[in-house]
């Protein structure tokens, strides 16, 4: 299974080529199609940038020079960061910005570029492709997919990575259109008997996420989805347990 990790950074400014540095990295590792809340799925690193943070930038993310003074420099956390992300695919909103800063920090240490360790997906490009004509800022996408971003009073790398995880799952769920007319019936394999299937039970967290997505679908469609209609009528299919558990 592909290892997907949403990532965001906070910095001292906008230009790594002019001396701006990273002050925070936030990462969230997705477990399949679910964002877990366990500590091992999250990484938050505050970093001493070895330079002052301008007041106008502090107003954006709230990370002051005093707060960052006793934090480790990037060289002290680079191995922890790379161990968390290497071998995976980073999901980044406006990837060119964050990748440029990561490349700069890695380059200062002779550690190559971020794409030497993992792939990169840019959700800005993905959103523009899937939602043409719509605003694609993180806040705009949260509003579109009805994701609660009320805690985002200041930018924060971990919070934004968590919001991005929800946005990416909504962008990539792949249920916005059905193109059955493109399928050749002769290419459809024979369905195995029920006894050949392994039954996988949904967890409470997965069931809650399923209900959240159905709620969004129903609100946009202004109708009750078939799943809830069958549920109300007591006609949902019951999982068979004849296969391997």
Question: What structural domains does the chain harbor?
Answer: 4-171 (3.30.420.10), 194-245 (no CATH)
34 DSSP β-pair partners: 31
What per-residue confidence (pLDDT) applies to 16?
A: 97
Q: What is the pLDDT of residues 12-65, one digit of tens each?
A: 999 999 999 999 999 999 976 666 666 788 999 999 999 999 999 999 999 999
What per-residue confidence (pLDDT) applies to 176?
A: 46
Give 10-residue mean pLDDT values along the chain (245 residues). 91 96 96 68 96 96 97 98 96 97 98 97 96 95 93 90 94 61 63 77 87 86 87 73 42
What per-residue confidence (pLDDT) applies to 243?
A: 42
Both tokens of 220, joined, read 């946009």
What per-residue confidence (pLDDT) applies to 237?
A: 67
Question: C-alpha distances in angstroms, 50 versus 12, 80, 84?
Answer: 10, 19, 24
What per-residue confidence (pLDDT) applies to 230?
A: 87
Question: C-alpha distances in angstroms, 205 versus 208, 213, 231?
Answer: 5, 13, 19
What per-residue confidence (pLDDT) applies to 167?
A: 95
What per-residue confidence (pLDDT) applies to 37?
A: 62
What per-residue confidence (pLDDT) applies to 66?
A: 97
* CA distance from start to end of the chain: 20
Catalytic positions, written as ranges = 155
Pick left, alpha or beta for residue 211 (phi over 0 → left; psi -120 to 50 → alpha; otherwise beta): alpha
The Cβ of residue 57 has, within 10 Å, a number of other Cβ atoms equal to 19
């Amino acid at each position: 299974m592909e290892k997907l990790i949403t990532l965001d950074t906070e910095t001292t400014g906008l230009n790594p080529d002019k001396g701006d540095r990273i002050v925070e990295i936030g990462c969230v590792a997705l477990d399949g199609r679910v964002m877990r809340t366990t500590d091992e799925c999250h990484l938050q690193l505050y970093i001493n940038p070895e330079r002052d943070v301008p007041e106008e930038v502090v107003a954006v993310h709230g990370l002051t020079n005093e707060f960052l003074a006793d934090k480790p420099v990037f060289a002290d956390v680079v191995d922890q960061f790379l161990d968390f992300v290497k071998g995976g695919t980073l999901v980044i909103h406006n990837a060119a910005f964050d990748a440029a800063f990561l490349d700069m920090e890695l380059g200062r240490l002779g550690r190559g570029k971020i794409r030497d360790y993992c792939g990169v997906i840019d959700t800005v490009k993905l959103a523009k492709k899937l939602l043409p004509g719509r605003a694609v800022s993180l806040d705009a996408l949260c509003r579109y997919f009805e994701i609660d971003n009320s805690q985002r009073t200041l930018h924060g790398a971990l919070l934004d990575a968590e919001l991005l995880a929800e946005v990416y799952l909504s962008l990539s769920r792949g249920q916005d259109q059905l193109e059955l007319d493109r399928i050749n019936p002769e290419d459809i394999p024979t369905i195995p008997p029920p006894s050949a299937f392994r039954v996988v039970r949904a967890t409470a967290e997965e069931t809650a996420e399923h209900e959240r997505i159905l709620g969004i679908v129903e609100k946009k469609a202004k109708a009750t989805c078939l799943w809830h209609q069958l549920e109300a009528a007591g006609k949902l299919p019951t999982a068979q347990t004849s296969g391997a558990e």
